[in-house]
Amino acid sequence: MIIYIVSDGKPGHLAQTRGLAKALVAKAARLQPDREHTFHEVSIVGKAWLAKLFYTGSDLALPKPDLVLCAGHATHLAALSLARHMHCPCMVCMKPSLPLGMFDLCIMPRHDLAEGARPADNVFTTNGAINCISPHPELEKKEKLILIGGPSKEYDWDAETVLTQLANITRHSSSPMVLTTSRRTPKDFVQDVLSTCPSIRVEPVETTGPTWVADHLAVAREVWVTQDSVSMVYEALSSGAPVGIIEMTPKGGRDPRRKISRVARGLNMLISDMSVRTFTEWARTHELPVPDIVLNEAGRTADYILERFPKLLS
């Protein structure tokens, strides 16, 4: 099976399509070990709207694909055009901006569905966005990992509130703790952490490489994530580690009449499912229970695709 990933170059979108492509290739290789199974990334960065609309891949020196994957609104037109030209299915890893029926399959987080709505026949729902993280039970779990976000469209940033929670967590921890920031984190927050919680080792995002988070998730005893960093929550759950939520205040406060965003709704689902624990819940026992089920949305989606589209392996 040959897969094309139509890419806009954005790391978050590539994490989704790469995660799914890797799972599909791995499963296909087990089912058909005598065939070639691989994926190729096809960049459409810099292409004009009209060029995407009529994109045929004539600039590619690659074997003909069996499947085209995409994520990111800017990739939709090129992916559909390429798949039509190559006579193969086109699947999108998000809720698309184009009509759902234009794609053979739309793989989207369950919180993107309207509340109470049933998914269409060509929609497969996942718990959060697909990612490339997988558990590594063979590795020693030696540290607690803290992933810090920052000001966002959904949540207000209050450094003092975050620091108070971090200080409480460190007081009840005997394991080494390492913290990293994101590009949204205010620059002075690193010094605030070093002053308030000197036992925490801080590695700002500017000093980390592209695999830093994945490498540290692989050896994390538990993971704490600020409430705004929902994609990091799902990555942490995919690692198999217990996950705690450092709480932040939703924009507009906690007014029950305030409309809840789809991102916040997704996190609330995880809290209701007891897949994660908020700081408030953790403070009652000072424990994060090991999750009963480790998220493997890439693998689960790959199983569904190969069952529903058997011609991919014919």
Contact partners, residue 208, CB within 8 Å, separation at least 6: 180
8-state DSSP, 158: -
Do 7 and 42 touch, CB atoms closer than 8 A?
A: yes
Which pLDDT tens digits describe the chain residue by residue (314 residues)?
Answer: 999 999 999 988 999 999 999 999 999 999 999 999 999 999 999 999 999 999 999 989 999 999 999 999 999 999 999 999 999 999 999 999 999 999 999 999 988 887 777 889 999 999 989 999 999 989 999 899 999 999 998 899 999 999 999 999 999 999 999 999 999 999 999 999 999 999 999 999 999 998 999 999 999 999 999 999 988 999 999 999 999 999 998 886 655 556 667 777 788 888 888 889 999 999 999 999 888 878 999 999 999 999 999 999 98
- pTM for the complete prediction? 0.88
Name the H helices within the chain: 11-31, 49-53, 76-86, 159-171, 189-196, 212-217, 230-238, 262-272, 279-285, 297-308
Calpha distance 259→158 (Å, rounded): 21
Burial class (CB in 10 A: 0-12, 13-18, 19+), 292: exposed
pLDDT at res. 160: 96
pLDDT at res. 46: 94
3-class SS of residue 85: helix
Domains and CATH numbers, the chain: 2-130+297-313 (3.40.50.2000), 143-285 (3.40.50.1950)
Beta strands in 89-194 (DSSP E): 90-92, 105-109, 123-126, 143-147, 155-156, 177-180
Burial class (CB in 10 A: 0-12, 13-18, 19+), 240: buried
Contact partners, residue 298, CB within 8 Å, separation at least 6: 19, 20, 22, 23, 130, 131, 132, 134
- Residue 62 phi, psi dihedral angles, 5° rounding: -130, 155
Do 106 and 122 touch, CB atoms closer than 8 A?
A: yes
Do 276 and 243 touch, CB atoms closer than 8 A?
A: yes
pLDDT at res. 311: 95
pLDDT at res. 254: 59
Q: Are strands 249-250 and 155-156 parallel, antiparallel or unpaired?
A: antiparallel
Of 301, 246, 238, the C-alpha closest to 275 is: 238
Give me 149's structure tokens.
């976000």
Question: How far is CA 261 from its chain centroid?
Answer: 17
Cα angle vertex 148, ends 134, 107, to 5°?
45
Contact partners, residue 246, CB within 8 Å, separation at least 6: 146, 148, 162, 165, 166, 224, 225, 226, 227, 279
